[in-house]
Amino acid sequence: MTQHVVDGKEAGPASDVAEDDASGASGLSVTQVVAASVLLGAAAVGVALAFGDAGPGPFRIGWIDGPWLRLVLFVMTCLCGVEAVGVRIRHDDDGEAVEELNLLDGVALLSVLLLPVRDAILISLIGILLPYLVRGIDRVKVLYNLGVYATAASATALLVHAVMPEEGRFDARLVVAMCVGTAAFVLVNLLHMALLLTAIGGTTPGEVLREDARLSVLTAIGTVGITGTVLAIAVAAPILLPCAVLPAIALRFAFAASAAKQEERRRSARVLSFSQILASGPTREVAVESFLSMTRQEFDAEATLLLLGTGTGMIMDDSSSGARSYDPSAEVRRLAEHADLRVVESPDVRAWSRVLTTPVMLDGVRVGTAMVARHGTGRFRASDITSLRSLVASLAVTLQNAEQTKRLVEETSKLRAVIDQAGDGIVVLDRDGAVQVWSPAMLRITGVPASLATGSRLGEVLDLESPASDAECPFAEGERRLRPDAPQLDIDIELVRPDGEARSARFSHAAVFEDGALVRDVVIVRDLTAERQVERMKGDFIATVSHELRTPLTPIKGYATMLLKRGDTMTPEKRQRALDVIVSRADHLGRLVEDLLSASTITANNDARHPMIAERADLVALVDRTREDFLAAASRVRIDTSDRPQVVGDPTRVVQIISNLLSNALKYSDGDRPVHVSVCEDGGKGHVVVRDEGAGIPSDQMGRIFDKFHRVEDPMVMSTGGTGLGLYIARQLAHAMGGEITAESTLGQGSTFSLSLPLHRPEHPADRGLDLR
Ligand code: ADP
C-alpha cells in the first residue's frame, strides 16, 4: 500500500540523486544503489518470466476478462502512479526521498491474482512507467523506481503463483498467498529504501528498517485486507464493488490528512527557525541567505532570487551550496518589473516552468523583488502565494532593521571614538549609581581601570584624600543634590590614586530624568591637578616674593630714614656703615630682581638658551672667586681642590651657579656646621661638589626642588629666605652650558649638590676664541 520512491521533484537533467555520488554508511554510492536496483529488477523480471507459472491467474472474475480486465488493471496501476491519487510524505529533511501511499502494491497483488505472471508484471511495469513519464520525473529516478517495482512485482508474482493453484478458492491458502506476496513486495521496497537513504547519508540501514518496519507491516495488512475484499466482492457480488473501494478512498484521505499535517509541521518548523533568525537581528547578508534557503525548501523550488533596488541580487539554486550574488539577465529583470505578486508561466528563463514573483515593499516603497522559480509541472497553490507574501514582508522589516542596526553600530563606534579620545574622563552611571561607561581618560586620571570600575559605584572605586563617612561621601552627596529641576552639578574632589599620587578632579554631573526619576548620570571628569598646582604656585610666589622684597627693604628704609634724620650728627664710621648696609641690601634686591627676570626669560623662551659665552674656564679659580663673596662665612667653607679641571662655560654664570649652591648649603645648615666644596675631574667632566651637613631634603621633594618657585618650606611659616628660583635658574644655566646639576640628600644628615661641566678639549671652538653668543 505504501511505496518508497525517490522524490518525484522535477529536478532537471542534473539530478541531485545522480550527482550525489558520495558513499553513505552502507559503503554504496547513490549511483551504485540505482544501478543495483535496475539490475536486480531486470534479473527479477527475467527469473519471473522464465520460471513463473505460464498459466492464467488463480482467480477469474466472470463478468470481466481478457483485454478488458487487463485494461482496467493497467488504468488502475497508472492512476496509482499519478500524484493526484497517491499521497506523498517526505522522508528526510531535504525531501529527496518520500513515502507514497498509492495502493500500488494492492493493484499489483490484484493483477498477480487475476492474470498470468508475465501479463501481471508487464501491466504493472508499463502502468507505473507511464505516469512517471507524464510527470516528467528525472530518468535516473524513473530507472530506480522501476527497478524497485520490477523486483517487488516479480517476487510477489512468483510467490503468489507458487502458493496458489490455478483454480484458487477463498480459503486460508489465498490469505497465505496474499500475505507472502505482499510481504515480499513491502520487504523489497523497504530494503531498497534503506540502501538508498543510507547512500544519501545521515542514517544506517538498521535505523531505516527499525523506523519503517511498523508502518510497512501495517500497510501490508491493509493491502491484504483491501485486496482480498475487492477480489471477493468482484467475484461474488460485483455490484458491491464501490463499497469495497470506499475504505480505500477513506484511507487515502486519512493518509493525505496526516501527510498534510506532517508537511504543515515541517513548514512551521522552517518558518519558526526563519523567524528566529530574523529575530536575532541578523546582518543583511544572513537575513537574505536564510530567506532564500527557507523559501527554496518551503516552495520546493528550483531557485529562489532576491533582487534589490541596486539592480544586483542574490540567488540560491543547485549551482552552489549557499546563496551567491547574482547579476540578473534582461529576462529576469523584465520578470521583476511587474508591480504585483503574480505567477509567470513558461517565463523563458533557464529551464523554469513557472516563476512566482512578488515585490519587496518597505513603508509603501518598493525596494526589490523576490522570485521563486520551479521546473516541471508543480503548480503554485494559493497558500504558497500568501505564505510568500508574509515571508517577504518579514524579510523587508528585517532588512530595514539590519540597515538601522548598521547605522546604529556606525554611530556607536563614532561615539566610542569620542569617549576613547576625549582628554577629560567620561563616566556614565545608571539609575543606581553603578558605572556603565568608564573612558580611558579615567584610567589616566584616577589610575582605576574600566574593568574594576564597571558595575561599581564611584565611592567604591575611588579613594578620597580625606576619607569621608558614607553620609559625607561627596559622590553620595552629589547624587542627593541632583534633581529634575537642577540636573547639573559640579563637585571638586581630591583623590588618591592607587599608586599614591594625589589628584584634584572636577566631577561635572549631567543627570537624565524620566518621569521625575533619575535614569542616567553622565559625568565629565576634568583633571584639575595641574591647574591647582599653578594656583598654589602663584600663591606661594606672591607670598615668597613679597617676603623676599620686604626683607632687604626694611633695613634700606631704616638706614635711609636714620641718615635723613640724624645724618648730620652721626660719626663718619656710622654713616659709612649705614650706607654699606643700604648698598648691600640694594644689591640683594637687584639680585632678586635679576633672578625673577632670568626665570621669566627662561619661561618665555621656553628653553634654556641664554646668551652666554662658552670659553675655557678654570673651575678651581671660579670656586675661589665665589668664595670671596662669602667672606662672612669663610670659616665654615672647606675647599678641596685635588684636580684642576679646565671646563667650557661662561665664567660669570658658573660663579652664579656655585654661589647659589654654596649659599643654599650655608643657609640650610646650622651656623656651626662646615660646608665642603670639592673640585674634581671625572668621566670627561669637571665637577664642583657642594656638601653640607644640614637638615637635608625629604625624598618626596627631591624631584621638585629644581622646579620654579618650589620651596620645601611652607611659605607661610618659613624661617629661611628665598624665592625657590635659585636651583631652577642654576639648572637651566648648567644645561645651557652643556652641563648638569644633580642632588642627593638624606633627611637630617645633609645634602650634596654637584655641578658638572664638559671638559675643555683643544679642538673645541672655544679654544679658537669663538663666541657662542
Ligand atoms: P631658595 O631661594 O628657596 O633657596 P632654591 O631654588 O635655591 O630656592 O632651592 C629650592 C629649595 O630647595 C629650597 O627652598 C630648599 O627648601 C631646598 N634646598 C636647596 N638647597 C638645599 C640644601 N642644601 N639643603 C636643604 N634644602 C635645600
Measured CA to CA in angstroms, residue 532 lies from 441, 502, 503, 691, 700 at distances of: 19, 11, 9, 34, 19
pLDDT reading at 725 higher than 70:
yes
Grid coordinates representing 543?
A: 607670598
Mean pLDDT of 451-473: 83
Mean pLDDT of 376-401: 82
Using 50, 70 and 90 to split pLDDT, how confident is the model at 16?
very low
The model's pLDDT over 274-301, given as tens digits with 9 standing for 90+, comes to: 888 888 878 888 888 889 988 888 888 8
**Predicted pLDDT at 723:** 76
- State how far the Cα of 396 lies from the Cα of 515, in Å rounded to an integer: 35
Q: Show the 3-state SS of 119-157.
A: HHHHHHHHHHHHHHHHHCCCHHHHHHHHHHHHHHHHHHH
Between residues 85 and 31, the one the model is more confident about = 31
Using 50, 70 and 90 to split pLDDT, how confident is the model at 100?
low
Mean pLDDT of 554-573: 89
DSSP SS3 for 560: helix
pLDDT reading at 12 higher than 70:
no
Mean pLDDT of 595-614: 66
Atom 18, ligand 1: which residue's CA is nearest? 664
Using 50, 70 and 90 to split pLDDT, how confident is the model at 216?
confident
pLDDT reading at 721 higher than 60:
yes
**Predicted pLDDT at 764:** 53
Using 50, 70 and 90 to split pLDDT, how confident is the model at 102?
low
- Non-local (6+) Cβ contacts of 182 within 8 A are 105, 109, 156, 220, 223, 224, 227
pLDDT reading at 469 higher than 80:
no
**Predicted pLDDT at 4:** 47
The model's pLDDT over 696-706, given as tens digits with 9 standing for 90+, comes to: 999 988 989 99
pLDDT reading at 266 higher than 90:
no
**Predicted pLDDT at 317:** 85
**Predicted pLDDT at 770:** 40
Question: Which atom of ligand 1 is nearest to 725's Cα?
Answer: 6
**Predicted pLDDT at 19:** 41
- State how far the Cα of 302 lies from the Cα of 295, in Å rounded to an integer: 10
Q: Residue 659: CB within 6 Å of ligand 1?
A: no
Q: Residue 548: CB within 6 Å of ligand 1?
A: no
Mean pLDDT of 441-467: 91
**Predicted pLDDT at 662:** 94
Distance, CA 667 to ligand 1 centroid (Å)? Answer: 8
Distance, CA 180 to ligand 1 centroid (Å)? Answer: 119
Indicate the range of 78-87, 223-232, 652-661, 679-688 predicted with least confidence: 78-87
Using 50, 70 and 90 to split pLDDT, how confident is the model at 751?
very high
**Predicted pLDDT at 490:** 92
- Of these ranges, 92-101, 494-503, 713-722, the one predicted with the greatest mean pLDDT is 494-503
Mean pLDDT of 385-412: 86
Q: Which of 548, 705, 706, 746 to mutate to test the pocket of ligand 1 (most atoms within 8 A of CB)?
A: 705
Indicate the range of 473-482, 500-509, 612-621, 710-719 predicted with least confidence: 710-719
Distance, CA 661 to ligand 1 centroid (Å)? Answer: 9
pLDDT reading at 472 higher than 90:
no
pLDDT reading at 168 higher than 80:
no
Mean pLDDT of 632-637: 88
Q: What percent of the chain has pLDDT over 90?
A: 24
**Predicted pLDDT at 389:** 85
Q: Residue 726: CB within 6 Å of ligand 1?
A: yes
**Hey, CA dihedral for 574, 579, 582, 583, is it positive or negative?**
negative
pLDDT reading at 428 higher than 90:
yes
Mean pLDDT of 519-524: 93
Distance, CA 725 to ligand 1 centroid (Å)? Answer: 9
Distance, CA 642 to ligand 1 centroid (Å)? Answer: 27
- State how far the Cα of 372 lies from the Cα of 304, in Å rounded to an integer: 5
Q: Residue 290: CB within 6 Å of ligand 1?
A: no
**Predicted pLDDT at 99:** 57
Using 50, 70 and 90 to split pLDDT, how confident is the model at 78?
confident
- Of these ranges, 97-101, 160-164, 495-499, the one predicted with the greatest mean pLDDT is 495-499
**Predicted pLDDT at 439:** 94
Distance, CA 583 to ligand 1 centroid (Å)? Answer: 25
Q: What's the mean per-residue pLDDT of the chain?
A: 82
Grid coordinates representing 735?
A: 644645561
Distance, CA 616 to ligand 1 centroid (Å)? Answer: 29
* Residue 163 host element (H or E): helix 139-163
User: What does residue 100 show for φ and ψ, rounded to 5 degrees?
Assistant: -130, 125
Mean pLDDT of 469-488: 82
Q: Give the pairing of strands 354-362 and 502-514.
A: unpaired
pLDDT reading at 422 higher than 50:
yes
- State how far the Cα of 359 lies from the Cα of 582, in Å rounded to an integer: 103
Q: Residue 299: CB within 6 Å of ligand 1?
A: no
Question: Which atom of ligand 1 is nearest to 722's Cα?
Answer: 2
Q: Residue 665: CB within 6 Å of ligand 1?
A: yes
DSSP letter (8 states) at residue 240: G
Q: Which of 540, 545, 588, 664 to mutate to test the pocket of ligand 1 (most atoms within 8 A of CB)?
A: 664
- State how far the Cα of 659 lies from the Cα of 591, in Å rounded to an integer: 12
Distance, CA 728 to ligand 1 centroid (Å)? Answer: 10
Q: Which of 701, 720, 727, 752 to mutate to test the pocket of ligand 1 (most atoms within 8 A of CB)?
A: 727
- State how far the Cα of 730 lies from the Cα of 706, in Å rounded to an integer: 9
- State how far the Cα of 100 lies from the Cα of 560, in Å rounded to an integer: 130
The model's pLDDT over 169-183, given as tens digits with 9 standing for 90+, comes to: 788 888 888 899 889
Distance, CA 608 to ligand 1 centroid (Å)? Answer: 20
Mean pLDDT of 313-327: 82
Q: Residue 668: CB within 6 Å of ligand 1?
A: yes
Q: Which of 598, 637, 666, 668 to mutate to test the pocket of ligand 1 (most atoms within 8 A of CB)?
A: 668
Question: Which atom of ligand 1 is nearest to 712's Cα?
Answer: 16
Question: Which atom of ligand 1 is nearest to 706's Cα?
Answer: 6
Grid coordinates representing 590?
A: 637687584
- State how far the Cα of 57 lies from the Cα of 284, in Å rounded to an integer: 66
Distance, CA 711 to ligand 1 centroid (Å)? Answer: 6
Q: Residue 713: CB within 6 Å of ligand 1?
A: yes
- State how far the Cα of 9 lies from the Cα of 138, in Å rounded to an integer: 8
Indicate the range of 248-262, 725-739, 740-754 predicted with least confidence: 248-262
- Non-local (6+) Cβ contacts of 10 within 8 A are 135, 136, 137, 138, 353, 374, 375, 376, 377, 378
Atom 7, ligand 1: which residue's CA is nearest? 726
Q: Which of 711, 713, 745 to mutate to test the pocket of ligand 1 (most atoms within 8 A of CB)?
A: 711
Q: Residue 695: CB within 6 Å of ligand 1?
A: yes
Q: What percent of the chain has pLDDT over 70?
A: 88
Using 50, 70 and 90 to split pLDDT, how confident is the model at 596?
confident
Using 50, 70 and 90 to split pLDDT, how confident is the model at 759?
very high
Strand residue runs (E) in 684-773? 685-692, 740-746, 750-758
Question: Which atom of ligand 1 is nearest to 724's Cα?
Answer: 8
Distance, CA 651 to ligand 1 centroid (Å)? Answer: 23
Q: Residue 541: CB within 6 Å of ligand 1?
A: no
**Predicted pLDDT at 97:** 47
Distance, CA 650 to ligand 1 centroid (Å)? Answer: 23
